Structure 1
Amino acid sequence: MVERFIAFDVETPNCANDRISAIGITIIENGAVTKDYYYLVNPEVHFDPFNIRLTGITSEMVADKPTFPELWQQIEPIMSSGLLIAHNAPFDMGVLTQCLTDYGIEWQPFTYYACTCVMGRACYPNLPNHKLNALCEYLQINLNHHNAGSDSHACAELLLNYMRRGLKPDRFLRRYDLVQRRTLRPISKTQPSETTKQLLKLKEILDEITADNELSPDEVISLRDWLRRNNALRGNFPFDKIFETVGEALEDGVLENFELEEMLQLFEQITDPVANACSCDCFDISGKTFCLTGEFEFGDRSSVEMALSRRGGTPVSGVTKKTDCVIVGSKGSEAWSNGNYGTKVKKAMELQGKGSPIQIVREQDICNLLPI
């Protein structure tokens, strides 16, 4: 069993997310935090106003700080000394790897990591969402969100909490390919299109501006400006809905509190539709067609399908207008195209937007239908 963990968090200077402006590293040994590190980094690129507001870091603050290659010489032995841990880990792993690649730094062909967001879903499945700030608030862990040092320390405290509850991080290991810059999964014949990349970028922006469960007028205006610059995304879900909602709210030049609240609810639904799905402890599958997605705590998908079929449900492999519900496994999936949900949930959301009654259902909401 792994006994040394390296929790880390990175902050970025702009929406490209290919440079680091700050990194926090927290070491866990023998069940306790033993050391915290925090570094500002000169990313050698411009800072977006949005990122400055989010992190509080400006170009002036890092002008005399080490560049990433200079800092890497110092932190590489630390990063190589244990299992990497991060919250929403694919993001931090992606930024770190992009920096290594762009600066021509060779580290190792692959590394292993575990994500405290994924582990949080397994430990606390009934929480409304599993963002870092939400978990910290629930568990009363101090957090200065988007300060890399505070975020890495909070991530470490989450891991220790999970382990005290009996969770074994080894169950959640993922192997990250540092050459191909991705979590290893079955090889796809096609690369993500530019449209898909920009839609993922939109989701990242929504994640960031809703992280504190509040929306400010400045954040909405910054989002509107991004939407205008990326108008080529018109016709793609969820761009049109967001563009229309933001445009209507700003039409009179005044953002009312109720408009900010409505947008916050919409954005949270889009960024985490599973966590924001209606919960019910008496869900009835009888007479309904259902489609499974993700990995299930109960067991493999075939076992879940068999159990639900015995209760009168009809399994289908894809999501269509005739599908009654998409059931999402509580363990998630590294293959999900949107990080915390995949194409099946996205299709269900599109259908909901067109008036379909299709439901998105969490695994914990069907526990009454699965044999113990």
Structure 2
Amino acid sequence: MNEAQYNRLGGDRINSRQIDELIGIARGLAADGALNQPEIEFLQKWLAVNVDISDQPVIRTLYGRVNDILRDGVADQDECLELLDTLERFSSGDFELGEVLKATTLPLCDPAPDLYFDGLLYCFTGTFNFGQRKHCEQAVVERGGNCGGLRKGTDVLVIGAYATSSWKHSSFGNKIIQACEWRDGGMPIVIVSEEHWRRHL
């Protein structure tokens, strides 16, 4: 075995061990169905140690998300719930970070309508390629819209790009189901994908 083959084999072993360890950490953190700031800070420290010796995109992507959450020094409830959903799905093998759900598996409005912002109430659910939910909400507010939790006055529900076909069982599935029931009952609520929303920014 030459040096290049030896180094490649060693790197493969490191990457495999890192992923196995990360899965174990994710399962441990998500075991009680809740995340708190000390747990997220622990995850950040583990990722910081491992990100520079790994070529695994899953580690780099997760590290970026955790850093975004802790950038302001506080992990709020929505951020904890989003990260919990990510860790639960990753540790169960339900998805890889970076997988984008096909829009056809979601109950989106078809055809998707043109979107406007001024005076409209937006609600965001899921995990977004655009950034954290607060970044999405800021983009709407900057364009004259409003944001909040899902309620009967909501005009637009935007579903994040990162999800799986088992969205009904995810932590944000209840919002989607509720919005569908309202829409089917005649309420003028629009359900769109993150991709469609971003095209109108």
Q: TM-score, normalised by structure 2?
A: 0.47
Q: TM-score, normalised by structure 1?
A: 0.27
Higher relative contact order (CA 8 A, sep 6+): 2
More strand, by proportion: 1
Indicate the structure (1 or 2) with the bigger Cα radius of gyration.
1
